[in-house]
Amino acid sequence: MKILHLNPEHPEENQILVEGLEREVLLFQLSDTHLAEADARDPHPARQAAAHYQAYFQQRTPGGMAAREVFFRLLERCRSAQPEVLALTGDVLHFPSVAGLELLARNLGGREYLYTLGNHDWYFPYGEWSEATRQAHYPRFFALSGGSPACQVREVSGLRVIALDNSTYQVSRAQVEFLRRQLQDGKPCLLLVHIPLCVPSLMPAVMARWQAPIAMGGEEGWTAETRAKWLVGEVAPSTRTCLELVRQAENLVGILCGHIHFPHADEIRTGCHQYVARPGFEGGYRSLTFKPYR
């Protein structure tokens, strides 16, 4: 597999030459738009949270614009670019409200997309953070994920795009086996997750920004207090297996993710870059053009 990355540090646009593609493929990535929508159909605490978080994120959006307006502008940019696939890499919603899910359903219809969940997508801030809560809210995302929020796949002109929900900083054995099956025939593959995989060049900036190593597989820098704050346990055996698989898969051409609210790009291994998107609430996006290499 011959993979060349052109200008991999460019914050918004990248070109990747990949052996085995049938034709050029354009992919558009959005992450961390944190849409806080709620109305009378949602519990009263959700409406309070929506007002709080809309005010919070409007301090960080371009010109104090409402987060939904930033989202609409990004979708318009996406429409103009005409990508084959829109990659939504988590925290598109700030919580899984009826109003937020309906807003997405209205505006994503007619697009080819994959949506992998972030840690905010399935969690109400007044509720319990647990696997039981995630599973309870999974059905709300069935329509947006082809009935399978945990793992999805699309193929576009020889490029296999795989989405895994790693929003708890872990992946299950079933997800690892799903990923292994997608990688095993040697086709060029692209992985979508929300939480970045631990890369040495990424971690100093993560620690400076968040005072915790909030990446999948991150181990150095945790304290008992930060583990309690972020609700992150020790790296599970299945997660370690996933990290080993990703780093050994020669046909994996890239990883797209978000979560940390700043852009970054670096190699996971030779020939495979991880691209972290600038957050959508700031107007951030990433476009990637995959070009056949002959």
Q: What is the pLDDT of residues 50-82, one digit of tens each?
A: 887 888 788 899 998 989 999 999 999 999 999
Report residue 125 CA to chain centroid gap: 20
List C-alpha distances in Å: 255 to 58, 83, 113, 171. 29, 17, 16, 15
Q: Give the orientation angle of helix 44-58 with respect to helix 67-81, to 10 degrees.
A: 70
pLDDT at position 110, please?
80
List C-alpha distances in Å: 219 to 222, 232, 233. 6, 10, 10
Q: Is the dihedral of CA 177, 152, 18, 203 positive or negative?
A: negative
Q: Is the dihedral of CA 54, 57, 59, 62 positive or negative?
A: negative
List C-alpha distances in Å: 105 to 108, 198, 259. 6, 32, 22
pLDDT at position 280, please?
96
pTM of the model: 0.95
Q: Mean of the pLDDT values across residues 86-102?
A: 96
pLDDT at position 11, please?
67
pLDDT, one tens digit per residue, over 10-31 is 668 888 999 888 899 999 999 9
pLDDT at position 44, please?
81
Q: What phi and psi values does residue 96 have, to the nearest 5 degrees?
A: -85, 60
For 199, left (φ over 0), alpha (ψ -120 to 50), or beta? beta
How far is 276 from 286, CA to CA, in rounded Å? 9
For the chain, what's the residue count? 294
Query: What are the sequence ranges of the domains in the chain?
Result: 3-292
Q: Mean of the pLDDT values across residues 134-155?
A: 96
Residue with tokens 């972030």: 118
pLDDT at position 28, please?
97
CATH of the domain spanning 3-292, picked from 3.60.21.10, 3.30.360.10, 3.30.70.260, 3.30.450.30: 3.60.21.10
Residue with tokens 């990535």: 29
pLDDT band of residue 109 (cuts 50, 70, 90) is confident
How far is 115 from 33, CA to CA, in rounded Å? 13
pLDDT at position 97, please?
94
SS3 180: helix
Strands 286-292 and 264-269: unpaired
How far is 219 from 222, CA to CA, in rounded Å? 6
pLDDT band of residue 4 (cuts 50, 70, 90) is low
pLDDT band of residue 137 (cuts 50, 70, 90) is very high
How far is 90 from 94, CA to CA, in rounded Å? 10
pLDDT band of residue 9 (cuts 50, 70, 90) is low
pLDDT at 227 over 60: yes
* Cα-based torsion angle of the residue sequence 133, 55, 31, 224 in order, rounded to the nearest 10 degrees: -50
